[in-house]
Amino acid sequence: MIVLGVDPGINCTGYGIIETPGKTLAFGTIRPPARAEFASRLLHVSEKLGEIIDAYRPEHCAVENIFHATNARSALVLGHVRGAILLTALRHGCRVYEYTALQIKKAVTGQGRAEKGQVRSMIGILLKIPVTGMAFDSADALAAALCHANTYRTQTAMRVVERAR
């Protein structure tokens, strides 16, 4: 199974693609032009994400969900970015799953309140990749992909057991 993880942001959107059981295919960031208008920045994120999906053909897309924001404007902006990401993933044939930052951090580090550096370090350990210099946004996206891969595998196994009963 190929999973795309996405950490939404208007200035920097992180992405990470893994193939289960733990092979890293790609990761990086999408950075719209800083001076571009808001709608153009959303379009940039959508187009670049579409190119990534076309290149790697992930079946599933795990996106970090909004659980709180420092202010209403930040939440609204992030909501727009997430909307562009969700629509792009769906239009390119991905099944979309959403996880809170707490769920993602707990799945990767065992602690829901882990710091970004801890998440990045665990990504390096779990995926056996160098993380020195890796953007936190990329690490968070890979963490979302790992969270989904493990959650999906567990839920699938539980459904099999339930059907066998």
Active site includes 140?
no
H or E, element range at 79: helix 72-91
> Does the active-site annotation cover 64?
yes
Which residue reads 């829901």 in tokens? 112
Q: What share of the chain is helix, strand, coil (3-state, %, to 5)?
A: 55, 20, 25
* Residue 37 designated active-site: no
Active site residue: 51, 64, 98, 115, which one? 64
**Options 51, 59, 98, 137, the catalytic residue:** 137
Closest CA to 10 of 39, 50, 53: 39
90's tokens = 């769906």
* Cβ atoms 83, 65 nearer than 8 A: no
Tell me how far apart the alpha carbons of residues 117 and 139 are, in angstroms, rounded to a whole number.
Answer: 9
The catalytic site residues sit at 7, 64, 137
